[in-house]
Amino acid sequence: MSSLRFFILSLTLSLCFAFQSDELLLDDDEFGLEGGNQQPPRSDPHFPSPSTPAPRKRFTESSSSDSKIQFSLHHAFGDSDFSDAGNFSARLKTWSHGGQTLTKLRFSRNPLTEEEQKKFQELLQTDDFYRIRLPSNVLSPPGRDYIISSVKARCLPGEGLEEHFVIHTEGVNILAVNYGAPGACPYPRQLKRPARWSFKSHTILKNSEQAPRTPIFAEDVLGGEEGEGELVKPVERSFWAKYWMYLIPLGLIVMNAITQAMNMAEEQVGGQGGAPGQQQPGSAGQRGSNAGVRRR
Amino acid sequence: MVWESSLPGSKASKSILYIPKNLKADKDDLILVYGKGSLNAVSGVDGEVLWKKDFSGESIEVSHIIQSSDVIYVTGFVDSSKISVYGLNAKNGELLENNHAALPFGTFGELLSVSGDMFVVLDEMRSKIVIVHLRNGEISYNQKHISDLTKDLAGQAVILPSRLPGMFALNINSYVLLIKVTNQGELVLVDKVNNGAAVSDSLSISEDEHAFAFVHYGDNKIHLSVKNVNDWNHDLLKESIVIDHQKGKIDKIFVNNYVRTDRSHGFRALMVMEDHSLLLVQQGEIVWSREDGLASVVDVTTSELPVQKEGVSVAKVEQNLFEWLKGHMLKLKGTLMIASPDDLAAIQALRLRSSEKSKMTRDHNGFRKLLIVLTRAGKVFALHTGDGRVVWSILLPSLHKSEACENPVGLHIYQWQVPHHHALDENPSVLVVGQCGPSLSTPAVLSFIDAYTGMELKSLSPAHTAAQVIPLPHTDSTEQRLHLIIDDKQHAYLYPRTPEAIDILKHEFSNVYWYSVDADNGVIRGHALKSNCIQEAVDEYCFDFRDLWSVVFPSESEKIIATMTRKSNEVVHTQAKVMTDYDVMYKYISKNLLFVANAAPKAAGEIGTVIPEEAWLVIYILDTVTGRILHRMTHHGCQGPVHAVFSENWVVYHYFNLRAHRYEMSVVEIYDQSRADNKDVWRFVLGKHNLTSPVSSYSRPEVIAKSQSYFFTHSVKAIEVTSTAKGITSKQLLIGTIGDQVLALDKRFLDPRRTVNPSQAEKEDGIIPLTDSLPIIPQSYITHALKVEGLRGIVTVPAKLESTSLVFAYGVDLFFTQIAPSRTYDSLTEDFSYALLLLTIVALVAAIFVTWVLSERKDLQDKWR
């Protein structure tokens, strides 16, 4: 069964490989999704040991520009020593201009042994760190140094154990690995035991992005006037904005005066027809605005 | 200027300038210049290099040039035990002879010239004086034990670098020995001065008379003597001066003569003190003094001034009644225009002193503060922001040279205790961290200083080093801030060393993270505390830590050239940013962000040394808790130097674009996508939002980064951003330009959302149409017409008034101002007409009164109707 799967896998890979030639560089980000229980394609669990750094070619029919390489993931529980945890396999693409890039990352994790499960339980209890490391150079591991990343163990348990790798590469070098749970890990971290002791792993390869180019305009759109406009703006405060503190009291005075004037005018009107009008009940409506009348 | 010529060379070396006596512009004399590993003969007429002799191939360290009639002798040491002399033809620089003499021992210090062809130097045990004689290029030497000259002195001797004809000065313990060298090469002890301090070079006062000055200490005074080199018993001048203790010892003394009114020789001495201040002494008095130590500011922090207490009144400031009366008399004179210029100056000083801005108390707006600066000489000054005067200064005793600590240097200054609850009866204090010597492996020195009085409260000289100092965001009950000091042996030490501090740290033990940058190896590591130190001596304030993460940059393609973090005390007003389409973006605000700029190793040098294809700049934004790379971007064809500033959710950095041959500034803004769903009002009503949940760095961040680059005309010395009390006011970038000025540039110009044709809504939102370069508006130089010579850094401090930010720029000059990036919207401007406002109110009240009277009268009329 295992051999059959291996055959299919290699077939699909090789098929995939046949179309590789016109593949874009953008292909770098690739999702590898494999269950932790799955056996790694290689039966040798010690691979790759640091003493065998050479990349292994697996496809004899491939052009010389491509090769398949493997590098291993080590893990540690709290402050324990690092031990093998799984293997990454990727395709190393050599470009005509000499650059090399990693593509098609796949990951297979070794199942956790009884002892490791016990250690992990301890980590969960003490809310300690689960640590992983990768070589900083995939061709000659460990390169200059190992890339270390840690996560609080309590972040990982979900259905099973869920992990998410973002591996930042530069050619054959690994700069950093963002390791953690695929989703949120809210604080305070609750103690939760995984239902299954198998890892569900997501891996992404990431390369550097190009910075956006500085916009270049023709000379006539240069920012000279821009600045001046910026300066002139505050001067162009509206009349209202400048003098509101005087205008409001002025308005009040004016309104007051108008009311007064109207009162006076009505006084006159009222005065003319005043004496008889007082007995007329309808006149109150006409002088609705006159407060003095209403007060009576 | 008659001429100027620049001399190229291959290797770095010390430079020596040899100018023949009585050089005249029209005479064709040779000026000999040694520098960059080669000797150049420059014509005195036009500055042309007549000949050049390269010594960079030889291993000689040239220390002296001697010119006899037509042979030039160049002498120096090879490996400190072999003297080498080269004789060169003065006409063409041809090598005539080359002599060596190997000493049977090594030497200490430099070769000091005593007379034309005689030199002295100490042997490596510092117990013998070696007299070297160069006669016509022939080397001969003899030696003499110091103990033969004086019996009772033992210790490490040092030859003082003062040039005296036929003499030299030797310092042993606290004694200065003045030793005469006879023509036969014999040494004669002339004088022995206890507590000697410094000896000047000699000064010729007449044809064959040479005078020199030396100082020694005694009964709290400094005694200055000027003597004739040949006539030892007679003093030309003897003075004693009292100098402030805070100036320390005398480092150097220079002497200058003048003719007195009675036609005798007078001398004035310029003294360079230990704190780098200058004093000019004449007739036993300090004529003037300059605090030149302030030109080498290392680090700056601020402190609030004391709260105004009830009891302190103006009368206390005015000293006494007499002073008060005198002051008023002066002012009266001033108003009556009968004041003399002196009086006017006095009035001015009086006004300045009593003016609001130079008061020694805290003000309502928080404009008055104390700037506490640490200088390279190990002196701490407190400067008043109102008028820049020195409120107090202290030459730190703990940063004094001692047996245990040979070359102490001050490194950083931190706010140690900032009392809020007990602001009335407790003084704030600052922490000065230094180390004994330039390398990181020398032990640390800690000193705690009261910020109001300038007294050293206590000092510690712990055994560990101080590779990194981390102020923690926790304070104890006395409001002392907890600090972790990381040494170079993977230990972290907690300060203050109190049980309470331990308790606080234990509580937050698992939440303390920090990072370290190893720029030489291109590695950044993250750390967390692990446990108490495991070592012989139990120290519960010592902790081990572990590495949590590491980022290893490939050494063949990247080299770390700049890193930048957010200021730990920065305040962010709101996380939400409303876009023009009434959409909300959430700023990714984390205190644990680090900006890293890496350049191609080839392009790490100066601009112009590489072609654009070989240069690139990679920038990273890292989370320092987990080591995640949140954003990574490559600028091709660009190189450093990179200057960056990080604030809120954005970083702005400045670099050089080789392809465009221009400087550029880029902005990167980071937005949090995990909170982007919180837009629906109903979610808020029903409480289904995640805005109140705590943010954890261990969650996978969903961030997007927006960036944009713009050309910028100037090269930059420093970048800083304004900071205000609540973070509401819009930000301005403060750019220290190459012309030593500070330019304020609105952050809106560096907005990644700028488009070529902003819509009406965007314009209303303050988005400026996209341009390729950033405008430099001459009016926005906050230094106006002034120059901050040798600008090195800019510090911004929030005032209490939200609209205002205080800016301190330092270099050789110091500059302080307050700026309001969005104008002073929360206070009335100075030109606001209070009189008009008052008039309006009065008119209003009058109008109300009048109308009220009118209405009453009408009422009455109505009633009478």
With beta carbons less than 8 A apart as the criterion, state whether B148 and B157 touch. no
Task: Give the integer Cα–Cα distance in Å for B58 and B364.
Answer: 68
Q: Which of A4, A86, A5 is closest to A46 using CA atoms? A: A86
Give the residues across from B47 on adjacent strands: none
CB contacts of A223 in chain B (<8 Å) are 771-775
pLDDT value at A2 more than 50:
no
- Contact check, Cβ <8 Å, B632/A208: yes
Tens digit of each residue's pLDDT (9 = 90 or more) over B854-864: 999 999 999 98
Q: B801: number of CA atoms within 13 Å, CB side?
A: 22
With a CB-CB cutoff of 8 Å, which residues 90-149 of chain A face chain B? 127, 129, 131, 136-137, 143-149
Q: Look at A58-62, A195-199, B247-251, B359-363 and tell me which has the smallest mean pLDDT.
A: A58-62
- Contact check, Cβ <8 Å, B696/A187: yes
Contact B768/A at CB under 8 A: yes
Q: Average pLDDT in the B550-555 region?
A: 91
Q: Which residue has the tokens 């001398």?
A: B267
The pLDDT of residue B302 is 92
CB contacts of A134 in chain B (<8 Å) are none
User: DSSP character for B53?
Assistant: E
With beta carbons less than 8 A apart as the criterion, state whether B668 and B621 touch. yes
The pLDDT of residue B23 is 63
Three-state SS string across B333-396, please?
HHHCCCCCHHHHHHHHHHHHHHCHHHCCCCCCCCCCEEEEEEECCCEEEEEECCCCCEEEEEEC
User: DSSP character for A264?
Assistant: H
High-pLDDT (> 90) share of chain B, %: 25
pLDDT value at B9 more than 80:
no
Length of chain A: 296
The pLDDT of residue A230 is 43
Highest mean pLDDT: which of A20-24, B532-536, B568-572?
A: B568-572
In this prediction the pTM is 0.78
Task: Give the integer Cα–Cα distance in Å for B122 and B146.
Answer: 10
A-B interface: how many C-beta pairs under 8 angstroms?
204
The pLDDT of residue B200 is 85
pLDDT value at A59 more than 70:
no
State the pLDDT confidence band at A236, using cuts at 50, 70 and 90: low
The pLDDT of residue B683 is 63
Tens digit of each residue's pLDDT (9 = 90 or more) over A11-33: 444 444 444 444 444 443 344 44
The pLDDT of residue B337 is 76
The pLDDT of residue B400 is 80
Q: Look at A106-110, B91-95, B499-503, B662-666 and tell me which has the smallest mean pLDDT.
A: B91-95
pLDDT value at A47 more than 60:
no
With beta carbons less than 8 A apart as the criterion, state whether A149 and A179 touch. yes
With beta carbons less than 8 A apart as the criterion, state whether B387 and B353 touch. no
- Contact check, Cβ <8 Å, A209/B696: no
Asked whether the ipTM of the predicted complex exceeds the cut of 0.90, the reply is no
Q: Average pLDDT in the A165-179 region?
A: 88
Q: Average pLDDT in the B118-135 region?
A: 83
Q: Which of A89, A91, A87, A70 is closest to A17 using CA atoms? A: A91
State the pLDDT confidence band at B221, using cuts at 50, 70 and 90: confident
With a CB-CB cutoff of 8 Å, which residues 642-701 of chain B face chain A? 657, 660, 664, 666, 674, 693-696, 698-700
Q: Look at A30-34, B43-47, B411-415, B531-535 and tell me which has the smallest mean pLDDT.
A: A30-34
**DSSP line for B83-135:** EEEEEEETTT--EEEEEEEE-SS-EEEEEEEEETTEEEEEETTSSEEEEEEEE
State the pLDDT confidence band at B362, using cuts at 50, 70 and 90: confident
Give the residues across from B270 on adjacent strands: B254, B280
By Cβ distance, the residue of A127, A183, A249 closest to B844 is A249
CB contacts of B851 in chain A (<8 Å) are 256-257, 260
High-pLDDT (> 70) share of chain B, %: 95
CB contacts of B529 in chain A (<8 Å) are none
Higher-pLDDT residue of B185, B821: B821
Higher-pLDDT residue of B123, B787: B787
Task: Give the integer Cα–Cα distance in Å for A22 and A6.
Answer: 26
CB contacts of B634 in chain A (<8 Å) are 208-211
